[in-house]
Amino acid sequence: MVGMRIVRILDANEEVEWPGGTILDDNDDFVVVDLGDDVVFQNADGYVLVQKDYKVDNCVWQVHKTDADPFPSRPHAHCVGGPHRFVGNKLHLGTRQLFAGAKPLDLFLHKKPFTKLIKLIQPKFPSIKLPLES
């Protein structure tokens, strides 16, 4: 299995795909994988948490399944990279409007990159129709 590309990893809650991942080592006790560009953390219970970055044009977005903050939409996107003035803002996944915390900005993501972002994140939320109704 070493060197094989990871197509799908199953856990108790969901199926997660890592098309850029590669199996580095495996035996009867464990499998070591490289998940590519995903951000990986481990929680106190030892479960691996994977956070996918979505690069669209010159911005990098993250969308969390279990974000405790429902504002401005559930789900919503966080700008984590790109032009400094946009980093830290949140994106409503229906109206395309940017927010600085709870404050709506008079800025909207252009339709073409918004549509591209929606196509990238839709598989993560199969039970939610994106874009959201406004």
Q: Is 65 helix (H, G, I), strand (E, B) or coil?
A: coil
Token representation of residue 120: 């990238």
Count Cβ atoms below 10 Å from residue 39 Cβ, excluding itself: 12
Given a cut of 90, whether residue 73 has pLDDT beyond it is yes
> Within this chain, do residues 119 and 86 fall inside the same structural domain, yes or no?
yes
Count Cβ atoms below 10 Å from residue 6 Cβ, excluding itself: 19
Instruction: Report percent pLDDT > 90 for the chain.
Output: 49
**80 φ, ψ to 5°?**
-115, 0
Given a cut of 80, whether residue 57 has pLDDT beyond it is yes
Between 30 and 121, where is the model more confident? 121
> Within this chain, do residues 59 and 113 fall inside the same structural domain, yes or no?
yes
Is 33 part of any domain? yes
Closest CA to 107 of 115, 96, 117: 96
The predicted pLDDT at position 43 comes to 72
The answer to pTM > 0.75 is no
> Within this chain, do residues 72 and 116 fall inside the same structural domain, yes or no?
yes
